[in-house]
C-alpha cells in the first residue's frame, strides 16, 4: 500500500509539473509575434527602453555576431536601449518584412534604424514563453534610404 501511495503521489506531481510547464510554454501565433516586434520598434522610437526591453525574456540574449556586441538578460538589454535616461539621440526603427514560423517559434525581419546614422539590417529571433529569448542581428551602415539600399533586388 505504501508503495502504491508513493507512486500515485509521484505521478500526480509529474502531471502537475507537466501541466504547469505546458501552460508556461504556450507558443504564440503570427499576430502575437507581429505585435511583439512592433512593440520593440515603438519602444525604441519613443526612447522608452523599458517598453522595448519588456519584450525580452529575463534571461534573453541580444547579440551581433560574431563578437561585436552581446547583452545577456533583460536588465542589460534595457541599459543598452538607453535605461532610465533614454538614449541621447532619438531612434527611428522601421520593420520592412517580418516572418514567423509558429512551429519552431523562430522569426526574422528586415529593418532600418536611424540613430544619427542609418543602418539597414536583418534580425533573427527565437520566442520563448511569449517573449524574445534570443535576438541576433546583422546590419550595414548606409547613407541610402531603404528603397535605394534594396534597389537591385526589391520585393
Q: What is the pLDDT of residue 119?
A: 96
Per-residue pLDDT, 85: 92
Rounded to whole angstroms, how far apart are CA atoms 49 and 114?
A: 16
pLDDT for position 90:
84
How big is the chain, counted in residues?
Answer: 155
> Which residue ranges of the chain lie beneath pLDDT 50?
6-7, 9, 11-12, 14-23
**pLDDT value of position 139:** 94
pLDDT of res. 21: 41
Give me the domains of the chain, ranges plus CATH numbers. 28-149 (3.10.450.50)
Give the whole-angstrom CA distance, residue 150 versus residue 155.
8
Single out the residue of 85, 100, 81, 74 nearest to residue 43, CA to CA: 81
CA proximity to 139, closest of 104, 115, 106, 103: 115
Amino acid at each position: 500500500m505504501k508503495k502504491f501511495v508513493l507512486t500515485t503521489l509521484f505521478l500526480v506531481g509529474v502531471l502537475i509539473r507537466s501541466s504547469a510547464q505546458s501552460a508556461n510554454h504556450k507558443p504564440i501565433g503570427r499576430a502575437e509575434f507581429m505585435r511583439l516586434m512592433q512593440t520593440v520598434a515603438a519602444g525604441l522610437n519613443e526612447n522608452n527602453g523599458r517598453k522595448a526591453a519588456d519584450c525580452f525574456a529575463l534571461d534573453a540574449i541580444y547579440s551581433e555576431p560574431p563578437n561585436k556586441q552581446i547583452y545577456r538578460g533583460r536588465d542589460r538589454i534595457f541599459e543598452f536601449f538607453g535605461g532610465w535616461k533614454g538614449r541621447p539621440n532619438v531612434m527611428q526603427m522601421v520593420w520592412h518584412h517580418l516572418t514567423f514560423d509558429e512551429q519552431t517559434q523562430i522569426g526574422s525581419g528586415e529593418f532600418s534604424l536611424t540613430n544619427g546614422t542609418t543602418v539597414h539590417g536583418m534580425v533573427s529571433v527565437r520566442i520563448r514563453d511569449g517573449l524574445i529569448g534570443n535576438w541576433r542581428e546583422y546590419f550595414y551602415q548606409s547613407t541610402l534610404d531603404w528603397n535605394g539600399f534594396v534597389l537591385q533586388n526589391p520585393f
